[in-house]
């Protein structure tokens, strides 16, 4: 869901400051009542501008991981994560992004 634009936030705050109720503002501007309260609080404390949000920075670069895959092709995710100092789920996700798949070798075949 996208954040409400700064111009809308300013209009909502101005409406309430001129004597309109918070409930009327939420109905008039088609926003949630809780949003009206947040905008009023934000206006008092800092800025009404929407906060940046989205993905976080990558935890580690691809090169060390690819180097580790070449040096130790049979290593587990946990072993790779320990060497790289990250979570095993991060290693798994990065391997998927890079298109590296599990190679079934005799050392890691399933019992069956």
Alpha carbon distance 98, 3 (integer Å)? 32
User: pLDDT tens digits, the chain, 112 residues: what are they?
Assistant: 688 899 999 999 999 999 999 999 999 999 999 999 999 999 998 888 887 776 666 667 889 899 999 999 888 999 999 998 888 998 999 999 888 887 666 655 555 5
Residue 59 CB neighbour total at 10 angstroms: 13
- Phi and psi at 103, nearest 5°, equal -95, 125
Q: What is the pTM of this model?
A: 0.50
Q: Which of 62, 57, 59 has its CA nearest to residue 96? A: 62
């Amino acid at each position: 869901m996208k954040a409400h634009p700064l111009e809308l936030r300013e209009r909502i705050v101005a409406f309430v400051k001129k004597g309109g109720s918070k409930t009327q503002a939420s109905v008039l501007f088609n926003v949630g009542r809780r949003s009206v309260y947040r905008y009023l609080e934000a206006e008092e404390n800092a800025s009404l501008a929407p906060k940046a949000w989205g993905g976080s920075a990558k935890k580690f670069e691809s090169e060390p991981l690819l180097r580790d895959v070449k040096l130790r092709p049979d290593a587990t995710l946990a072993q790779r994560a320990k060497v790289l100092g990250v979570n095993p789920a991060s290693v798994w996700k990065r391997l998927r992004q890079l298109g590296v798949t599990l190679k079934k070798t005799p050392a890691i075949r399933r019992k069956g």
